[in-house]
Structure 1
Amino acid sequence: MIKYPDYENCIAGIPNSILKNMGIEPGRRTSELLDRYLAEKAYENIVVILLDGMGKNIIDANLSGRGFFNSHMSGTLSSTFPPTTVAATTSILSGMEPCEHGWLGWDCYYPQIDKNVTVFLNKETGTDEPAEAYNVPWRYCGYEGAADRLVKSGRQAYMATPFVEPFPDSFEKIVDRIEELCGKPGRKYIYSYWNEPDHTMHEKGCFGEDAKSLLKKLEKQVRQLCMRLNNNRTLIIVTADHGHIDTKGVALTDYPKICECLLRLPSIEPRALNFFIKPGMEEQFVNEFNRKFSDNFMLLTKEEVLKKKLFGEGSEHAAFRDMLGDYLAVATGALCIYNTREEADFFIGAHAGLTEEEMTIPLILVEC
């Protein structure tokens, strides 16, 4: 079933609710559900634990309905569009929607340098070469995160992720870091991130024993952390950036009549692809794409994307429209379109389409 992003009940509201609760005007939409919970008590520690890819469908399929996560399920939220790590984690870090921050997907086209760039790696897409000598995404789409705003205002905020010192490289170490930070005096916000179960599900699928055993372990680790923090001063917010589904992949290079229409290879995501079309080739592209993929993808013009406000309802980043391309292909079925055969043959689990499973994420609240 097609499910569009709901920006009134979205992951981007989480940091805005936390800013509001800690006395800073967020300037953007908050999460009404989280607002109500935060208003009940002045928590000393507000902790976000984001488990990559752990959508509501993944919890429902792999964990007990009477388990720790489900017994503390306070509701669900919408991911961003696309429901993918680059876009959604940037939204939970910044409180901005993708059209505002410009971190649209794993690969983005940057008109300032006329290149597709793998965003988190700062490499030219499909190569091991740096896109530029500087960090392209941060130069052209830099933003101020909620934690940065708190620290700048004299409040406490911390990150417990593999990318920030002391660089915890396992979930065990992240949990230990959270516990250590919660022991510091004073009110504080702690944001944590781990790349599972997403990493495993990309390679092994979403519903096998690998995913199930991993999710049980993650659930147990969070439960044990909450037991150790049993001081009545901490709110743990467990959520995800997006859901996951099992998919099949095809390689764009196997469709020469489509490829000959393109100015460059598509970017964003294999389930949300932007296409820049050579002048005079629009009709061939639309006809060929729909002939091959209309059962699994909805092909939209740039104007239709903007009218639907797929990437958000906020003020657009200056480069946003130029990053979009002429057409956007959005997955509604279980197919991915990769730029290479190697990728198409490798990945099983995927996300970034407009299905309910990919779009719906949990809001798990634990007072401890």
Structure 2
Amino acid sequence: MLKLQRRKKWKLLFVLTICLFTSIVYVIFVLGEKEIIIGNGENVDISDIKPFEPFLDEDFPKMLDTNPRIPKIIHQTWKDSFVPTAFHENVRSFIDKNPNFKYYFWTDASARQLIADRHPELLETFDNYVEPVRKADMLRYVVLYEFGGIYADLDTECLRPLDRVLNKFSCVISPEPYEHASLIYNTRFMVTNSIMFCGKKHPFLYRLMYNLPSFSHFSQDIDASGPNYVTLQLSIYKTDLTKTGNKLTELHDNFVYVPSSQYFQNEIDPVRFEQFRKMCRNFKSLNIIARTGCVSLKRRGMIHRTPNKYTFTRHSFYHTGYKWISSSAVKITDLVPHAVIYQTV
């Protein structure tokens, strides 16, 4: 009996040792691989491939001595008023860096109430959404249309004050990193909806809201209400303005400004690391769009990108709709005492 117990202990120790060794190897050779390898050991000339997005070397454009064109309101959302501890530092970063901003927090219940009160035509679409992420997508467009301000996902950290972003343009929509657009979707341009800046009643937000019902049949969230949807609507919005002969200047109330992704979306989604490694090792089989993405990763790095001094936010790609989150949470008013809930707006 004693020998059997010893054998079990030795087997358990052996298994644990193998697991530890495997983890160490993974960390060293997979997570530790900071640079993308171009090609499978071949000598590949990348000198003639120019970056789609130049390295950011100047601050966000602004105007002097003007009132903000976008309200100083931060909007964030969660299913209820208890914020998981994983996001506490991110929430506080927006408050600490922007102490003179209002803070509106939205729950599933207050979101539905807002839509019922202000846009009842959209309520059926909202109620029929099965995936929480689609409801969250609709909400961000509605709250920005109704109140204006800044929408930021809870997995976004604020690195510097945002006053400058609100000063010149009536709406600011950030692109995804070029590497995401090129290597995942084989396109040169794609915007994000994880952080958005827009003035109240902006016509682009109206388009985002009222075209959602027509896209609810799409199987993928990203196409039905997320970044691909926003990218398409932005393209149509600009095309429609061109057709009517309305070539807007940057200072026009209906203009949408698209800055460098390095201001707000400088990071690469960790979920994509291994996919990008495999693609870039097969560099010669890629088209020019994907090759440019690989070269950008090679030059700028993939895992540990140091924020540019002009970068405003850092997105950690927590994928809240598809990832387990600890039940440990704190009420939003304990975290942000001046938080405003819709019923009291």
- The interval holding the TM-score normalised by the smaller chain is under 0.3
Larger proportion of helix? 2
Larger proportion of strand? 1
Query: Computing the radius of gyration over CA atoms, which structure comes out larger, 1 or 2?
Result: 2
Q: TM-score, normalised by structure 1?
A: 0.24
